[in-house]
């Protein structure tokens, strides 16, 4: 019996050693250690062993079982380890490869100039408000003193959506009317409204069927053109430099009386004359004026008590002037090589 045990041990250990995979190893485990295995068969024969030899044989059985179990374990760990190594190898990440360059975004320059204008006006106590781009004729024209059939409507070739009643706003001025009506006719107002506007213009270097305006409105008591001039001075200096001069030229808008064009002295040639200012020394940056009494009345404000001023900047025009951009279409194209973005770090 002792011999048999020795043989099982020798056979088992060498078979385990030679096993090529886990499956063979499992088969050997069954063959050697299971209920029907070789070692159990020997144990069954213990009955026939003389009582005095049993402890010796028993100890030997245990020793053989331990040796086989130990060898199985070592071999099994070997297989697991090899598998792991293989997996690690196949999933290896080459950390020496240069990383992919992901370009990070920058705000559109238009966005940037609007933020700049907002900041200047907010520092003067203005609210930034929003209005709908799909607008009613009443807000875009009628309440602003431009009745149906008025020739001024032709100047703003409008995209109508529904039977001349619903349109894409051709200016941000309707937000003036909306703000006054919402305020109820008894409160002062200071607001600016940057937003998209639409006109049936053929696109070229200075025209776009969609562009941005920044509307402004101040309503209070005893406001004069001098207040508008002071406000315009402030924004011109903040945007274009402290040494910039401003001037008003008479103009005409239906919703203001008197109306003006607001000019700044050319910040490139300092007024001497250059290609930017077309040798005039001045650049026009917005339309403005004192809010027309009809508009005040239409929007619930008593013109005997309240008055105020309004203005409208073209945002693209501001950005084109300030950053020397020659073509308005550049703001709207999606080709990154050509589009105009603002680098906050440099700015
Ligand atoms: N809405 C005018 C335009 O599109 C610009 C404008 C001029 C707005 C004078 C105003 C203003 O509020 O007072 O040409």
What are the tokens at 18? Answer: 């030679």
Is the CB of 285 inside a 6 Å radius of any atom of ligand 1? Answer: no
What pTM was computed for the model? 0.70
Residue 345 has pLDDT above 60, yes or no: no
- Which ligand 1 atom is nearest residue 215's CA? 12
Measured distance CA(43)–CA(136) in Å, rounded: 100
Are residues 322 and 116 in contact, defined by beta-carbon separation less than 8 angstroms?
no
**Residue 53 confidence class, pLDDT cut points 50, 70, 90:** confident
| Tokens coding 146 | 């431009």
Query: Cα of 193 to ligand 1 centre, how many Å?
Result: 12
**Could you tell me the distance, in angstroms and rounded to a whole number, from the CA of residue 21 to the centre of ligand 1?**
85
Percentage, residues of the chain above pLDDT 70: 97
Ligand 1, from 173, 216, 260, 284: best to mutate by most atoms within 8 Å of Cβ?
173
Average pLDDT over residues 124-130: 97
Instruction: Flag the least confident range among 98-102, 120-124, 187-191, 192-196.
Output: 98-102
Tokens of 287: 């339309």
Q: State if residue 173 touches ligand 1 by the CB under 6 angstroms criterion.
A: yes
The minimum-distance atom of ligand 1 relative to the CA of 171 is 4
Q: Is 171 in the pocket of ligand 1 (CB under 6 A)?
A: yes
What's the CA-to-centroid distance between 138 and ligand 1, angstroms? 16
What is the length of the chain? Answer: 347
Residue 291 CA, closest ligand 1 atom number: 13
- For residue 197, the ligand 1 atom closest to its alpha carbon is 4
Verify whether ligand 1 is closer than 6 Å to residue 288 (CB atom).
Answer: yes
Say which residues have a Cβ less than 8 Å from residue 339's Cβ, sequence separation at least 6.
108, 330, 331, 333
Q: Give the lowest-confidence range in 18-27, 102-111, 236-245.
A: 102-111
- The label of the residue with tokens 């907010």 reads 122
Cα(71) to centroid of ligand 1, in Å?
92
User: Binning pLDDT at 50, 70 and 90, where does residue 253 land?
Assistant: very high
Q: Partners of 108 in the beta sheet?
A: 341
Mean pLDDT across 103-114: 86
CA dist., res. 311 & res. 253, Å (int): 10
Q: Is 311 in the pocket of ligand 1 (CB under 6 A)?
A: yes
* Residue owning the nearest CA to atom 6 of ligand 1: 312
Can you tell me the mean pLDDT for 120-135? 97
- Per the CB < 8 A criterion, the answer to whether 156 and 175 are in contact is no
For the chain, the average pLDDT equals: 91
φ, ψ for residue 19, nearest 5 deg:
-55, 135
- Pairing mode, strands 160-162 and 166-168: antiparallel
Q: Is the CB of 262 under 6 A from ligand 1?
A: no
Judge if the beta carbon of residue 287 lies within 6 A of ligand 1.
yes
Say if residue 168's pLDDT is above 90. yes
Instruction: Kindly indicate the confidence band of residue 263, based on its pLDDT and cuts at 50, 70 and 90.
Output: very high
Q: Which residues of 245-257 are buried (b: 16+ CB within 10 A; e: fewer)?
A: bbebeeeebbbbe
Q: Is 125 exposed, middle or buried (0-12, 13-18, 19+ CB in 10 A)?
A: exposed
Query: Rounded to whole angstroms, how far apart are CA atoms 248 and 263?
Result: 6
CA of 242 to the centre of ligand 1 (A): 25
Lowest mean pLDDT among 12-26, 131-145, 173-187: 12-26
């Amino acid at each position: 019996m002792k011999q048999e045990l020795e043989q099982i041990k020798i056979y088992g250990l060498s078979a385990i050693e030679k096993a090529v995979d886990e499956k063979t190893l499992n088969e050997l485990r069954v063959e050697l250690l299971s209920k029907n295995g070789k070692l159990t068969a020997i144990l069954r024969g213990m009955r026939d062993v003389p009582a005095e030899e049993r402890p010796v044989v028993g100890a030997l059985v245990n020793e053989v079982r331990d040796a086989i179990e130990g060898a199985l374990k070592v071999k099994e760990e070997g297989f697991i380890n090899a598998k792991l190594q293989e997996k690690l190898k196949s999933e290896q990440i080459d950390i020496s490869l240069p990383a992919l360059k992901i370009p990070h975004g920058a705000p559109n320059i238009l966005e940037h100039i609007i933020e700049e204008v907002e900041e200047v006006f907010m520092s003067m106590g203005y609210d930034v408000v929003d209005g709908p781009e799909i607008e009613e004729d009443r807000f875009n024209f009628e309440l602003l003193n431009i009745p149906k059939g008025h020739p001024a409507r032709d100047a703003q070739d409008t995209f109508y959506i529904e039977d001349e009643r619903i349109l894409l706003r051709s200016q941000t001025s309707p937000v003036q009317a909306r703000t006054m009506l919402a305020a109820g006719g008894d409160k002062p107002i200071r607001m600016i409204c940057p937003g998209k506007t639409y006109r049936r213009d053929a696109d070229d270097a200075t025209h776009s069927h969609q562009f941005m305006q920044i509307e402004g409105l101040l309503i209070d008591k005893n406001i004069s053109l001098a207040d508008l001039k002071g406000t315009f001075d402030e924004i011109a200096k903040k945007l274009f430099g402290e040494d910039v001069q401003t001037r008003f030229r008479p103009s005409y808008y239906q919703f203001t009386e008197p109306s003006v064009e607001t000019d700044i002295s050319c910040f490139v040639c300092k007024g001497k004359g250059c290609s930017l200012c077309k040798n005039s020394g001045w650049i026009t940056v917005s339309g403005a004026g004192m809010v027309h009494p009809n508009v005040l009345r239409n929007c619930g404000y008593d013109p005997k008590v309240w008055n105020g001023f309004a203005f409208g900047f073209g945002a693209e025009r501001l950005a084109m002037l300030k950053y020397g951009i020659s073509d308005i279409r550049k703001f709207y194209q999606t080709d990154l090589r050509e589009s105009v973005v603002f680098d906050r770090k440099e700015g």
